Amino acid sequence: MKRLLWLAVLCGMAAFLGPGASAKGKTDRDVFKSLIDEYWATWSTGDVDKVGAYYDQSPDAVYYDVSPLKYAGWSEYKEGVKHIFDEANSVKIGANDDLKATRRGAIAWTSETFHMSEALKTGKTVELQGRHTAIWEKRAGKWIIVHEHVSIPMN
């Protein structure tokens, strides 16, 4: 009887918390807000090797960035973005406060806008607003990006 009562309490808690919340009270948005903030802070270090920990390392993964059109796999992406950091004294990237996060089991997708400030070695400063959409998969208890799309407005 105690076991049945305990099971009923657990089921009731799960129904109360819903699919977007955990027993610790964190919503999917909370989880991904922390992850996105950490992700952009890591990009801001300029250390693309550290950033790689957030990505699927498969050569079949597809990542879209501002330029060029497409990267096939993390290795290609890593090599393609190195020039941004080679030309800069510093880069600071941070998410704006418009994150949307949706999770279905071990798959999630996020979208947010971001601000980037880059101090170039030439003395010029670049400020831009961009868009970021990522598809995440939870593997071995860790969320990694399996597809990403980064873009900036044309004007």
* pLDDT at residue number 69: 85
pLDDT, tens only, 38-89: 999 999 999 999 999 999 999 999 999 988 889 999 999 999 998 888 999 9
Burial-class residue 111 by CB neighbours within 10 Å (0-12, 13-18, 19+): middle
Cβ(104)–Cβ(28) below 8 Å: no
Cβ(132)–Cβ(148) below 8 Å: yes
Portion of the chain with pLDDT greater than 70, in percent: 85
pLDDT of 153 higher than 80: yes
- In order, the DSSP letters of 40-53 are HHHHHTT-HHHHGG
* Count of beta carbons in the 10 Å neighbourhood of residue 149: 15
Domains annotated on the chain, with CATH: 27-151 (3.10.450.50)
Q: Which of 2-16, 20-34, 74-88 has the highest mean pLDDT?
A: 74-88
Q: Which residues contact 19 (CB under 8 A, 6 or more apart)?
A: 103
Confidence of residue 32 (pLDDT cuts 50, 70, 90): very high
d(CA 101, CA 109): 6
* Count of beta carbons in the 10 Å neighbourhood of residue 97: 7
Confidence of residue 118 (pLDDT cuts 50, 70, 90): very high
Nearest to 61 by CA among 134, 131, 113: 134
d(CA 125, CA 116): 10
